Structure 1
Amino acid sequence: MPITIADVAAHAGVSKTTVSRVLNGKGELNAATAARVRQVIEELGYVPSAGAVGLARGRTQIVGMLVPSMTWPWIGEVLQGVVDVVESEGFGLLLFTCNRGEQSLRRFAQQVSAKSFDGLLVIEPEGTLDYITELHAAGLPVVLIDDRGHQPLFPSVATTDRAGGASAARHLLELGRRRPLVITGPTGFGCVQERLAGFTEAWAESGPPLTADQVVAGDFTFEGGRSAVRRLLDHASGAGGGVPFDAVFAHNDLSAAGALAELRAHGLRVPQQVAVVGFDDVPLAAQSDPGLTTVHQPLREMGSAAARLLLAHFRGEPLPSTPTVLPTSLVVRGSTRPGR
C-alpha cells in the first residue's frame, strides 16, 4: 500500500497538520520537529500529492508550454532547455501542441480555465499571438520563446536573426563566393524577414546586390530545400548554362540538408563547387555529410532562459519589460571549408 501523510505523522510522532506545514513551508515550526518530519519522509519514501501540495500553496507547481508541433527539429532542443530548469526546481511540465488546430486550442483553453498550471511558456503556434497576449493581460504569467521576429507585449526570449544572416553572408564572401542562392522559410515569419535582411545588407557591403531570382521562398522542410535547388539546376541545364550559383544559404538546417542532397544527386561537389550554410545548428547539422556550416541559435539556452524567468517570477521577481536576447554564432564545418 502507498505511504500516506498519516503514516508519516505516526512515525514522526506529530499531527498530520504538522506534516502538511512542513511539506508546504507554511506556519512556524520548531526546527528540530521539521527536520524529524523530513527525515521520516525520506526514510518512508513518501511522495506527496502534487495536487494537494498545490492547493495548499495556492499554485500547482506545474508550468504549461504551448508549441505548434513537435515535428520541427529545433523545438526539441528548446524543450530540453526548459525541462532542465523546470525539473531542477521541482516543477512539472504540461505540454500542449497544436497538431489538431482549433481542436487543440480548445483543449488548451479548457486547461487555462481550470488553472491547471501556474504560468505559460510559448513557442507561438501561427495566429495565436493575440490570444496569448489576452491571457497575459488577464493575469497569466507568460514568456514567449520567439523564433518569428515578433515583439510581443509580454516577456520574451529571442535571438539575433538579422546578425545571424549577416554572418552567413560575410563568411561566404570571405570564401570568394559571389553568386548565392538564398532559400528562405515562410515569408510571413518575422525571423525569415530578419535573416534575409541581415544577409542582403551584409552581402551588399562587399558583393553585388542580390537579385530577385537569387531568393527562393521555401517552407523550412527537407523537400523544400531539395526542390528549390532542383528547379534552378534543371532550368540552367535546359538553357544550356552552367551551375547558376556557387553558394546556398538556407534559412534552416532541414532545408539546407535538402539542398545538400540535391547537389549530390546532380554530381556537384560541396564545398568545392557550391558552399552551403544553414541556420539553427540542430544535431542534424553535425551529422550531415559533409558537416553543415550553420548559424547557431542558442536553442537550449533560450528554453532555459525562458523557464528561469518564469520560475523567478513565481518567487516574487517581476518579469522583465524588455526582451531577453541571446546572440547567434557561426559554426563552420565541411560544407563551406574542405577538411574541417
Structure 2
Amino acid sequence: MPITIADVAARAKVSKTTVSRVLNGKGELDESTAARVRAVIEELGYVPSARAVGLARGRTRVVGMLVPSLTWPWIGEVIQGAVDVLETERYGLLLFTCNRGEESMRQFGAQVSAKSFDGLLVIEPEGTLDYIATLHARGLPVVLIDDRHQASGQIPSIGTTNHDGAGSAARHLLEIGRTRPLMITGPDRFGCTQQRLTGFATAYAEAGHPITDDRVRTGDFTAAAGAAGVRAALESGVDFDAVFAHNDLAAIGAMRALLDNGKRVPQDVAVVGFDDIPTAAHTQPPLSTVHQPLREMGEAAARALLGHFEGTPLPNRPTVIPTTFTPRASTVL
C-alpha cells in the first residue's frame, strides 16, 4: 500500500496539517518537530503528490525547457547544467523539442495554457523567438540560453563571448605562425556567425594579415559543410595554412577532407573549431577549439529562473559567460 500523509503524521505523532506545513515550508514550526517529521518522511519513503504540493504552494515546482532537438551534439551539456541546478533544488524538468515543427509547438502551447510549469528555459527553435517573447510579456518567466546571439533584450538571456572567442582562435593561430587561414562560417542569419567572423577577421587584420573573400566559405554548422568548404578551396587553388570553422562539427569535416586530400594536420594545415563538444577531444588528431561554457550556461539560466521564483528579479540585460581556448594536437605538435 502507498504511504500516505496520514501514515507520516501517525508515526511522527503530529497532525496531518503539521506534516503539510513541513512539506510546504509554511507556518511557524518548532525545529525539533519539523526535524522529526522530515526524519519520518525519509524513513517511510513518503513521496508527496506533486500536484497537491504545487497547489498548496501556488506553483508546480516544475520548469519547462524548450529546445530545437536532442540530436545537436552540445545540447546535452546545456540540459545537464540546468538539471544539476533544478534537481538540487528539488524541481522537475519538463522537456519539449521541436522535432515535428508546428505539431510540436502546438503540443508545447497546450502545456503552456495548462500551466504545467512555473517558468521556461529556452534554446530557441528557429523562428520561435517572437512567440517566446510574447509568452514572457504575458507573464511567463522565461530565460533564453542564447547560443546564437539572437536575443534582442526582450527576454532575459544567458550568452557567451562569440567575438572574443573567435579572436582567441585567431591569436592562437597567429602565435604558431599561421597567417593564411581559411574560415568556414555558420549560417549568415545567426548573430553568432557574424560575431565569430568579425572577431576572427579583426584579429588577423590587426596583425597585418587581412582575410580575403576567397578564404571565407559559408557553411551550416555541419561536418558536410566543413568538408565541402575545404574541398572547394583546394579545387580553386586557394592558398591556406589553417582552418577556423565556426563549430566543431564543421572543423571535424574539414579535417577529414584535408586528410583525404593528402594534407597533414597540423603540419600542413592547422584546424580550430568552436564549441568544445565531447567528441572534440577524441578526433584524430584531437581538435583545438574555443570552449563554449555550455554546462555553465545551463546552470546560470536555471539559477536565474529559480532566483526569480524566490523574489530576485530576472536580469534585464544579457548575462555573459566567457569562452576559453583549448589547444590540442590539431594545431600544436
Q: Report the TM-score range of the alignment, normalised by the length of the smaller protein.
A: over 0.9
Give the equivalent residue in structure 2 for 1:335.
Answer: 330
Give the equivalent residue in structure 1 for 2:95.
Answer: 95
C-alpha RMSD of matched pairs (Å) = 1.3
Instruction: State percent identity of aligned pairs.
Output: 70
Question: How do 1:90-239 and structure 2 match up within 5 A?
Answer: 90-150=90-150, 151-236=152-237
Q: Give yes or no for contact 1:184–1:216 (8 Å, CA) kept in 2.
A: yes
Query: Separation in 2 of the partners of 1:39 and 1:311?
Result: 26
TM (norm. structure 1) is 0.95
Question: How do 1:60-75 and structure 2 match up within 5 A?
Answer: 60-75=60-75
Q: Deviations over 1:217-243 (max 9, x none)?
A: 11111111112112222343xxxxxx6
Which of 299, 305, 316 does residue 304 from structure 1 map onto? 299
1:43 Cα deviation (Å)?
Answer: 1.3
Q: Deviations over 1:21-40 (max 9, x none)?
A: 22111223333332322222
Q: Deviations over 1:59-108 (max 9, x none)?
A: 00011111111111111111111111111111011111111111111111
1:6 Cα deviation (Å)?
Answer: 1.7
TM (norm. structure 2) is 0.97
Give the equivalent residue in structure 2 for 1:240.
Answer: none
SS at match of 2:74: helix
Query: Separation in 1 of the partners of 2:147 and 2:40?
Result: 47
SS at match of 1:29: coil
Q: Give yes or no for contact 2:185–2:217 (8 Å, CA) kept in 1.
A: yes
1:319 Cα deviation (Å)?
Answer: 1.1
Query: Separation in 2 of the partners of 1:231 and 1:209?
Result: 20
Q: Give yes or no for contact 1:124–1:146 (8 Å, CA) kept in 2.
A: yes
Query: Separation in 2 of the partners of 1:30 and 1:178?
Result: 71
Question: How do 1:8-87 and structure 2 match up within 5 A?
Answer: 8-87=8-87
Which amino acid is the alignment partner of residue 30 of structure 1?
Answer: D
Q: Deviations over 1:1-35 (max 9, x none)?
A: 21111211222233322221221112233333323
Q: Give yes or no for contact 2:153–2:317 (8 Å, CA) kept in 1.
A: no
Which amino acid is the alignment partner of residue 337 of structure 1?
Answer: V
Q: Deviations over 1:263-304 (max 9, x none)?
A: 111111011100000001111111111111111111111111
Equivalent residue pairs, number: 332
Name which of structure 1's ranges 252-261 and 29-38 shifts more when overlaid on structure 2: 29-38
Structure 2: state its 5+ residue gaps.
none
Give the equivalent residue in structure 1 for 2:242.
Answer: 247
Give the equivalent residue in structure 2 for 1:279.
Answer: 274
1:176 Cα deviation (Å)?
Answer: 1.7
Query: Separation in 2 of the partners of 1:148 and 1:336?
Result: 26
Query: Separation in 2 of the partners of 1:70 and 1:273?
Result: 36
Q: Give yes or no for contact 1:145–1:303 (8 Å, CA) kept in 2.
A: yes
